[in-house]
Structure 1
Amino acid sequence: MAKFGGGFPGGGNMNNLLKQVQKAQKQMEEKQKELESKNYEGSAGGNAVKAVVTGKKELVSVTLDQSVVDPDDIEMLQDLIVLAVNGAIKQAEEEAANLMSELTGGMNIPGMF
């Protein structure tokens, strides 16, 4: 039977593994803070409606062009706002997913970001 140094394939030991995990965890925490501090903008109606959310997916602002404010068509305005907010949230989620993929080498770790 083959014997591996330190009980791990390739001769590694538990201390090195723990150091790598701690380093990766620290990098993820730093990147998470960086993402949370960023703003993401979504728009709809040819930029007539703009929404800004943080990396925490909190709505910061909504900007409306006068051309979309029609008292006779409130439903269209509501739809445009929803589209703009969802677009901003999607941008934040995509950046977080891309970052996680970079940090984990493409492994899908449940519950991360």
Structure 2
Amino acid sequence: MSQGQGFGFGLGKMKELAEAFKKAQQVQEGAKKLQEELEEMEIEGEAQGGLVKVVLSGNQEPIRVVISPDVLTEGSEVVSDLVTAAMKDAYRKSTEMMREKMEELTGGLNLPGL
């Protein structure tokens, strides 16, 4: 490297780098806020027209399961299948919601893997 050439990029590149760091910091702050919001959210999945409901937090932690007494007469295998279907519904909804929130958070940054 000859003297006076620096790192191979001029002040324009430094400005771009500073902007990138600023955006990254904004995303980090937004991610922290989003994490707090997710902890407080409740996302409901259901099966059989709402006869079985599963509620997850925005972080996909189970909160509760609600089973209608009408379903209990169907037998354990049916109840198990309906609980599983409601869990899958809640998981799908929470995953979609997280994806949307992350797109809002990182909008326009074109981050790989998101």
Alignment TM class, shorter chain as reference: 0.7 to 0.9
- The structure with the larger Rg is 2
**Matched residue pairs, number?**
106
Q: Equivalent residue for 2:80?
A: 78
> 1:40 and 2:43 equivalent?
yes
Query: CA offsets per residue over residues 40-87 of structure 1, 9 Å max, x none?
Result: 0011111110111111211111111111102x6211110000111111
Root mean square deviation, CA, Å? 2.4
Over 3 Å counting, the alpha-carbon distance change for 1:64 and 1:58 in structure 2 is same
Q: Equivalent residue for 1:64?
A: 67
Pairing 1:1-113 to 2, within 5 Å after superposition: 5-8=10-13, 12-70=15-73, 73-105=75-107, 107=110, 109-110=112-113
**Matches of 2:17 and 2:112, distance apart in 1:** 21
For residue 81 of structure 2, what is the amino acid of its counterpart?
Answer: D
Task: Tell me the percent identity.
Answer: 31
Give the gaps of 5 or more residues in structure 2: 1-8
Give the gaps of 5 or more residues in structure 1: none
For residue 34 of structure 1, what is the amino acid of its counterpart?
Answer: E
**Matches of 1:34 and 1:18, distance apart in 2:** 24
